Amino acid sequence: MNICIYGSSLSAWVAATCLAKVGHAVVIDEVMGDSKQAITDVSVIRDEPGLLTEVLCQIKEGRLSRRQQHSKVTADVHWLALQPNEQQLAERVMDDLRLNGARVLVVNQCNFKVGATEGLQLSLGGGGDVVYMPDNLQEGLALQGFMQPSRIILGIDKKAAVDKTKAVLQAFTSDLDCLQLMSSREAEFTKFAITGMLALRIGYINELANLADLLQVDINIVQESMGADPRIGSHYLSPGCGFGGQNFDAYVQKFSGILQKERQQSLLKTVIEENEVQKELLFRKLWQHYQGKLTGKVVALWGASFKPGTGSIDNAPSIKIIDALISQGVQVNVHDPEALGHLINHYGQHPLINYSENHLTAVEGTDAVLLVTEWPIYKSPDYKRLVALMRVPLLIDGRNMLDKRQAKKNGFTYLGVGR
């Protein structure tokens, strides 16, 4: 099938690549993106493990191409992977398709709002069907998630569109345990509901962890026991110094906005606000340890991306922590296996920031190490060597990743999140 993808987000590139990989002829219209920029420079592609290689491969084999300005595209399937705030662009695509007159299938993957797909259908008119398929993209695992989904939700309002949609997705649905069909409105709501639920869980466990800090309870023990209860389960139950990322954050914000508009107040609004506070947790622990006297201190930051497996620093706690540190006149040595390029773009050459290629060089002469992202490389440090390198052996572990007992045994002051 000929498929045209609209968008320049990670979702757009993942969909384009995977659909090409299974044999569709795919054109990607980057809309607000720059279609002249070299693929190797597109950061959403570079940040996602494995994606760059796959995109280049599909382009080389001729199944994936980039739409250049005003070039004509004829496609049977139009796939919308735009940002949550780009609904107007989607409307414009619908207008163009309606004027073209050909009968098309439109797959909407955008998280605009509940009822947006119905609106797009109205704009498109009778010349085609618009269906909604929520994107379940997990940054860092995006390709795998698209190629081998564990479940797919489809929001389809007209029976006739069901078979067409299944035909497009046929390559991904063969091993599928679970395909759920519902109205587009219900599917849109489900997408928001799932995202919100995950945010609530993280918010709740963070709140418990902060309380555990005050009550001398180890949250890891509590968390394991909670997770063992089948009614709760262990996913999204790790306390930490805040969630970030482009998509997750944006969806939660969007959903919170909807809830607030319709119901005046929202649990999620509190979760978002508390998450912003949580992002500065490591800074506060450092501040309290040094009683507010931070000027002139040197601190190593381990990890800057919002989660391991990606170089993205969108809404990452590291940004808030670095901002707070440099405002207090603290020298920051930051290490991250993937994100240094983005950090340099964000801060430039700053007198208080050193970008370290090596996580051990970063800790030399420091008054604390702040572990922000749980990259595997930080998991089992040589504590004896660390002690020797640092000026003050203080570990502040924002992901409860380090071995607290080992650290203490080697003379560290260890501060975790709730332990």
Q: Out of 267, 277, 344, 388, name the contact with another protein by CB under 8 A.
A: 277
Q: Is 315 in the site for another protein (CB under 8 A)?
A: no
Which positions from 215 to 254 touch another protein by CB under 8 A, shown as an x/- string? Answer: ----------------------------------------
Residue for token digits 């990670």? Answer: 10
Q: Is 328 in the site for another protein (CB under 8 A)?
A: yes
Q: Is 324 in the site for another protein (CB under 8 A)?
A: yes
Q: Is 288 in the site for another protein (CB under 8 A)?
A: yes
Q: Which is nearer to another protein, 90 or 298 (CB)?
A: 298
Report the side by side order of strands in the sheet with 2-6: 64-66, 25-29, 2-6, 77-80, 104-108, 128-132, 151-155, 178-182
Q: Out of 225, 234, 260, 327, name the contact with another protein by CB under 8 A.
A: 327
Residue 33 phi/psi, 5° resolution?
Answer: -80, 175
Q: Rounded distance, CA 370 to CA 357, Å?
A: 16
Going by C-alpha positions, the residue among 171, 1, 8 that lies closest to residue 81 is 8
Q: Which is nearer to another protein, 93 or 395 (CB)?
A: 395
User: Could you please report the per-residue DSSP string of 161-176?
Assistant: HHHHHHHHHHHHHTT-
CB 238 within 8 A of CB 205: yes
Residue 121 phi/psi, 5° resolution?
Answer: -60, -40
CB 404 within 8 A of CB 378: no
Q: Is 283 in the site for another protein (CB under 8 A)?
A: yes
Q: Is 148 in the site for another protein (CB under 8 A)?
A: no
- Give CA angle at 292 (290, 295), nearest 5°: 90
Q: How many residues does the chain have?
A: 419
In this chain, which stretch among 140-148, 320-328, 359-367, 403-411 interacts with another protein, using CB under 8 A? 320-328
Q: Out of 61, 95, 323, 382, name the contact with another protein by CB under 8 A.
A: 323
Q: Which residues pair with 356 in a beta bridge?
A: 335
Distance in Å, CB of 175 to another protein, minimum:
49
Q: Is 286 in the site for another protein (CB under 8 A)?
A: yes
Q: Which is nearer to another protein, 202 or 286 (CB)?
A: 286
In this chain, which stretch among 134-142, 214-222, 264-272, 280-288 interacts with another protein, using CB under 8 A? 280-288
Q: Is 287 in the site for another protein (CB under 8 A)?
A: yes
In this chain, which stretch among 181-189, 200-208, 321-329, 384-392 interacts with another protein, using CB under 8 A? 321-329
3-state SS class at 223? helix
Distance in Å, CB of 272 to another protein, minimum:
13
Tokens of 260: 């607030």
In this chain, which stretch among 159-167, 287-295, 309-317, 342-350 interacts with another protein, using CB under 8 A? 287-295
Longest dimension (CA), the chain: 73
User: Could you please report the per-residue DSSP string of 230-268?
Assistant: TTT-STT----S----HHHHHHHHHHHHHHHHHHS--HH
Report the side by side order of strands in the sheet with 394-397: 353-356, 331-335, 298-302, 368-371, 394-397, 413-415
Q: Rounded distance, CA 169 to CA 285, Å?
A: 49
Going by C-alpha positions, the residue among 150, 149, 320 that lies closest to residue 249 is 320
Distance in Å, CB of 321 to another protein, minimum:
11
Distance in Å, CB of 203 to another protein, minimum:
18
DSSP 216: T
- Beta-carbon contacts of 234 under 8 Å, excluding residues fewer than 6 positions away, are 223, 224, 226, 227, 228
Q: Out of 126, 230, 292, 348, name the contact with another protein by CB under 8 A.
A: 292
Distance in Å, CB of 276 to another protein, minimum:
10
Distance in Å, CB of 280 to another protein, minimum:
7
Q: Which is nearer to another protein, 178 or 214 (CB)?
A: 214
Q: Is 284 in the site for another protein (CB under 8 A)?
A: yes
Distance in Å, CB of 178 to another protein, minimum:
43
Q: Is 415 in the site for another protein (CB under 8 A)?
A: no
In this chain, which stretch among 141-149, 188-196, 249-257, 286-294 interacts with another protein, using CB under 8 A? 286-294
Q: Is 291 in the site for another protein (CB under 8 A)?
A: yes
Q: Which is nearer to another protein, 216 or 291 (CB)?
A: 291
Q: Rounded distance, CA 9 to CA 44, Å?
A: 7
Binding site for another protein (CB under 8 A): 277, 280, 283-288, 291-292, 323-324, 327-328
